[in-house]
A and B are shown apart, each in its own frame.
Chain A
Amino acid sequence: MAAPLTLVLILSVTIRAVLFRSSLAELISERVEVVSPLNAWKRVVEGLALLDLGVSPYSGDVFHETPLVIYLFHFVVDYAEIVFMVSTFEFSGKYNLFIKQKYALEADRYPHDCLELMRSPKEMHYIPLKVAMFYLLNPFTILSCVAKSTCGLNNAVMALFILSTLKGSALLSAIFLALATYQSIYPLTLFAPGLLFLLQRLYIPVNPCRSRFWFFTVQYSVMFIGSLLVIVCLSFFLLGSWDFIPSVYGFILSVPDLTPNIGLFWYFFAEMFEHFRFFFICVFQINVFFYTIPLSVKLKEHPVFLIFMQIAIISIFKSYPTVGDIALYMAFLPVWSHLYRFLRNIFLVSCVLLACTALFPVLWHLWIYAGSANSNFYYAITLLFNVGQILLVSDYFYAYLRREHHLSQGLYLRRKDGSEATLVLK
């Protein structure tokens, strides 16, 4: 287990090191699909330079990172590449630990013919390696790392949150969730699955009537909100002003920068009249948070899958997505490899995602440099890419639910007399 992992690590280090030193690094760090105004490395350097000149880095619309990132990079700005690589590896390291935890709860309480649905420990043995491979060798992650986008840091913090939740430590989980929320607001939606998992682990049934449920919820939320407040106040003390709140959170929520990216916001808001802007901002932002409640209700028994769904939804619907965010939930896919037999749209989704990934730079070039296309072309590909992602996510959701159905109802339907039955949807 350690040897293949080390091999994968060495390979990914090599690839990243080679790309860092080549001329591609500059090219990649300028691509809009890889960096966004929130996490571009250029902006971090700019903010630190402004700080050295004695000016608040948040003055002017340049720097949108949180003050803790300033503190982190203040000392390691020359070794940034190493920091990013380290965060990537830490991320992948998490999965080695948590996979083993994951199926501890899947007891053998299922009917016999579902044995083939269950995963044998042998299969599960390789999943951590696969997850590590999926993350480290994913071209999206490599691009994101070479571009030195702080998306890698966000991913690392979310991975830490997942790890601490799966380990069962409520305090750490709350702290890392607070940290992730502090970095970008959207991980707030991960509060529900985190809570659900911890409740499940402590064998507290999710019943509003029970006092234990409320007690734990209140405890967890107090820890979360408390740590969030502490972190925010600490960042105040870094620079001595509250400038960072409109610069970071105001920026994320009100989307003033409409540079094209792989998300859905820019095109809409580029052509929207001022009169309706606020309304549509609210609509788009609520769209991210909206799916938490129904998904939590449906998946309250399966919080880990809920985490995956939430992360995917955040990556698709957030205001400034980049390929680094996508890499985060794609790394999870090997965990659900047992759902493969129930997936319906693999071919379509993979074709769409591959084609769109290839077409992004092409249409960007045609639009910006050749001038023979326009923003509609690029947005069409963005839309298609997001549709592909949504299809992927909903496909996995369907497969998961179907597996659960089969686990409870049996894989092959039998009529009362034992002959084979088929299920027909009318």
Chain B
Amino acid sequence: MVLLFVCFCLFVCFSLLVLLELSLMLALLTKATQFFSSGHTNNWAVLVCTSRFWFNYRHVANVLSVYRSVKRLGIPDSHIVLMLADDMACNHRNPKPATVFSHKNMELNVYGDDVEVDYRGYEVTVENFLRVLTGRLPPSTPRSKRLLSDDRSNILIYLTGHGGNGFLKFQDSEEISNVELADAFEQMWQKRRYNELLFIIDTCQGASMYERFYSPNIMALASSQVGEDSLSHQPDLAIGVHLMDRYTFYLLEFLEDIHPASQANMNDLFKVCPKSQCVSTPGHRTDLFLRDPGSVLITDFFGSVRKVEITREAINLTNPTELSLRNELKSEALFYVDQLPVADIIHQKPKQKDWHPPDGFILGLWSLILLVFFKTYGIKHLKHIF
């Protein structure tokens, strides 16, 4: 009897172990398949702060905190285009020079030791931003100022500053509209400059900026809806200004918990900063994105692709042909815009016909001239001509 019980227990344990192992293998397998099926091979980040002046300290702090997270999670400086419209760390009014804090307790100096700003001060203009995105830069532009992405790049674009319904203000003198931004993204799509794009904007009425997107594979998040203002978090009385905006503050808090191997996905990102904490309602847009947001990792955009993962377990890979078949099925949903047909490219414009004065005019003019000539000089001179 006891023997039976012991056998039964052993059997149960054994089956449990087997099940555990199987599930582990399955998890590893999915991870492996996922590892080999992720669509991107490199990550880029374009982080823009559009406002200058000391009282817009918080916008610089916003961008620097996202920069910090993105660098920490693995994207190198060569793949980050950082645009700061003003220098807060070395501003004359900064009582704590060479620092930019995110919290009044001075817990986190987001300026750090190795910030690499690519576009600074007055170089942050709408034109430069659009040129960075579309790649239409003069040949003399250094590599650090270029977005050298390809069709397997996942790009994170983070904008912050003062905005309104449909526009974002740059440098207090010009603005970019949501239509321009949408067209720039469409250019990027047609020029195969991204695989997937994550667009985050932290301004007042930020949701209006992603309303007009129409290119595939874009996911967008905004800190507030149309008609709402994004509010700042808290001021530091020693520094004298508000240090960060609420949305980015809680975003930073969320990102501090992410490490390069974490499996947190976009659905968690959408939950960052609910209305109770943010006062404004953050919004997001996923209709243009082809993958399910639940399957998109945070590190797909905030971290960088690491080709190497050290593991001690043996992984059984499935037959490569089966894998590629499944990949093809998955990637069928993606498509490229048709190239221009050759006839359009090489097509010659028809030669313009030159304008000629009407015959009646020529006739009338010359007959008049002849008439006057003969009237003046007399008909008798005709014989000299003929």
Binding site for B on A (CB under 8 A): 48, 51-54, 70-71, 74, 169, 171-172, 175, 230, 234, 237-238, 240
A52–B352 touching, CB < 8 Å: yes
B355–A237 touching, CB < 8 Å: no
Residue ID in chain A nearest B356 by CB atoms: A74
Q: Would A74 and B368 be within 8 Å (CB), given that A53-B352, A171-B376 are in contact? A: no
Q: State the Cβ distance, B50 to closest chain A Cβ, in Å.
A: 30
Q: How far is the CA of A51 from the CA of B360 in the complex (A)?
A: 18
B368–A230 touching, CB < 8 Å: yes
Q: How far is the CA of A178 from the CA of B361 in the complex (A)?
A: 18
Q: How far is the CA of A238 from the CA of B354 in the complex (A)?
A: 15
Contact partner of B364 (CB less than 8 A), chosen from A54, A70, A74, A237, is A237
B358–A171 touching, CB < 8 Å: no
Q: State the Cβ distance, B361 to closest chain A Cβ, in Å.
A: 5
Is B372 interfacial (CB-CB < 8 Å)? yes
Q: Would A238 and B376 be within 8 Å (CB), given that A53-B352, A71-B365, A230-B368 are in contact? A: no
Q: Would A169 and B354 be within 8 Å (CB), given that A71-B365, A234-B361, A237-B364 are in contact? A: no
Which residues of the partner chain B approach A172 to less than 8 Å between Cβ atoms? 372, 376
Is B384 interfacial (CB-CB < 8 Å)? no
Contact partner of A52 (CB less than 8 A), chosen from B355, B360, B361, B364, is B355
Q: How far is the CA of A237 from the CA of B363 in the complex (A)?
A: 11
Is B307 interfacial (CB-CB < 8 Å)? no
Q: How far is the CA of A388 from the CA of B111 in the complex (A)?
A: 69
Which residues of the partner chain A approach B358 to less than 8 Å between Cβ atoms? 237-238, 240
Is B357 interfacial (CB-CB < 8 Å)? yes
Q: List 7 A-B contacts (CB under 8 A).
A: A51-B355, A52-B353, A52-B354, A54-B352, A71-B361, A171-B375, A172-B376
Which residues of the partner chain A approach B361 to less than 8 Å between Cβ atoms? 71, 234, 237-238
Q: How far is the CA of A190 from the CA of B360 in the complex (A)?
A: 31
Residue ID in chain B nearest A230 by CB atoms: B368
A171–B364 touching, CB < 8 Å: no
Q: State the Cβ distance, B296 to closest chain A Cβ, in Å.
A: 53
Q: State the Cβ distance, A229 to closest chain B Cβ, in Å.
A: 12
**Extra A-B contacts (11), CB below 8 Å, given A169-B376, A234-B361:** A48-B355, A52-B353, A52-B354, A54-B355, A70-B357, A71-B361, A74-B356, A171-B375, A172-B376, A234-B368, A238-B357
Q: State the Cβ distance, A171 to closest chain B Cβ, in Å.
A: 6
Q: How far is the CA of A74 from the CA of B368 in the complex (A)?
A: 20
Contact partner of B355 (CB less than 8 A), chosen from A74, A169, A175, A230, is A74
Q: State the Cβ distance, B337 to closest chain A Cβ, in Å.
A: 32
Q: How far is the CA of A175 from the CA of B369 in the complex (A)?
A: 10
Which residues of the partner chain A approach B376 to less than 8 Å between Cβ atoms? 169, 171-172
A234–B364 touching, CB < 8 Å: yes
Q: Which residues from 342 to 386 on chain B have a C-beta closer than 8 Å to any C-beta of chain A?
A: 352-358, 360-361, 364-365, 368, 372, 375-376
Q: How far is the CA of A54 from the CA of B356 in the complex (A)?
A: 11
Q: How far is the CA of A52 from the CA of B364 in the complex (A)?
A: 23
Which residues of the partner chain A approach B357 to less than 8 Å between Cβ atoms? 70-71, 74, 238
- Residue of B365, B368, B372, B375 contacting most chain A CB atoms (<10 Å): B365
Q: State the Cβ distance, A236 to closest chain B Cβ, in Å.
A: 9
Which residues of the partner chain A approach B372 to less than 8 Å between Cβ atoms? 171-172, 175
Which residues of the partner chain B approach A234 to less than 8 Å between Cβ atoms? 361, 364-365, 368
Residue ID in chain B nearest A68 by CB atoms: B365
Q: How far is the CA of A169 from the CA of B376 in the complex (A)?
A: 8
Q: How far is the CA of A74 from the CA of B357 in the complex (A)?
A: 9
Q: State the Cβ distance, A394 to closest chain B Cβ, in Å.
A: 37
Q: State the Cβ distance, A228 to closest chain B Cβ, in Å.
A: 13
Residue ID in chain B nearest A240 by CB atoms: B358
Q: How far is the CA of A171 from the CA of B375 in the complex (A)?
A: 9
Q: State the Cβ distance, A220 to closest chain B Cβ, in Å.
A: 15
Q: State the Cβ distance, B91 to closest chain A Cβ, in Å.
A: 31
Which residues of the partner chain A approach B354 to less than 8 Å between Cβ atoms? 52
Q: How far is the CA of A51 from the CA of B356 in the complex (A)?
A: 9
- Residue of A48, A175, A237 contacting most chain B CB atoms (<10 Å): A237
Which residues of the partner chain B approach A71 to less than 8 Å between Cβ atoms? 357, 361, 365
Which residues of the partner chain B approach A171 to less than 8 Å between Cβ atoms? 372, 375-376
Q: Which residues from 311 to 362 on chain B have a C-beta closer than 8 Å to any C-beta of chain A?
A: 352-358, 360-361
Q: How far is the CA of A169 from the CA of B365 in the complex (A)?
A: 21
Q: Which residues from 115 to 158 on chain B have a C-beta closer than 8 Å to any C-beta of chain A?
A: none
Which residues of the partner chain B approach A238 to less than 8 Å between Cβ atoms? 357-358, 361
Which residues of the partner chain B approach A51 to less than 8 Å between Cβ atoms? 355
Which residues of the partner chain A approach B352 to less than 8 Å between Cβ atoms? 52-54
Q: State the Cβ distance, A66 to closest chain B Cβ, in Å.
A: 13
- Residue of B353, B356, B361 contacting most chain A CB atoms (<10 Å): B361
Residue ID in chain A nearest B360 by CB atoms: A237
Which residues of the partner chain B approach A175 to less than 8 Å between Cβ atoms? 372
Q: How far is the CA of A209 from the CA of B94 in the complex (A)?
A: 96
Q: State the Cβ distance, A315 to closest chain B Cβ, in Å.
A: 28
Q: How far is the CA of A171 from the CA of B369 in the complex (A)?
A: 12
Residue ID in chain B nearest A50 by CB atoms: B355
Q: How far is the CA of A234 from the CA of B367 in the complex (A)?
A: 12
Q: State the Cβ distance, B369 to closest chain A Cβ, in Å.
A: 10
Which residues of the partner chain B approach A169 to less than 8 Å between Cβ atoms? 376
Q: State the Cβ distance, A198 to closest chain B Cβ, in Å.
A: 14
- Mark each residue of chain B from 44 to 72: 1 if its CB lies under 8 Å from any CB of chain A, else 0: 00000000000000000000000000000
Q: State the Cβ distance, B378 to closest chain A Cβ, in Å.
A: 12
Which residues of the partner chain B approach A237 to less than 8 Å between Cβ atoms? 358, 360-361, 364
Q: State the Cβ distance, B168 to closest chain A Cβ, in Å.
A: 33
Closest CB pairs A-B (n = 5): A51-B355, A237-B361, A238-B361, A52-B355, A71-B357
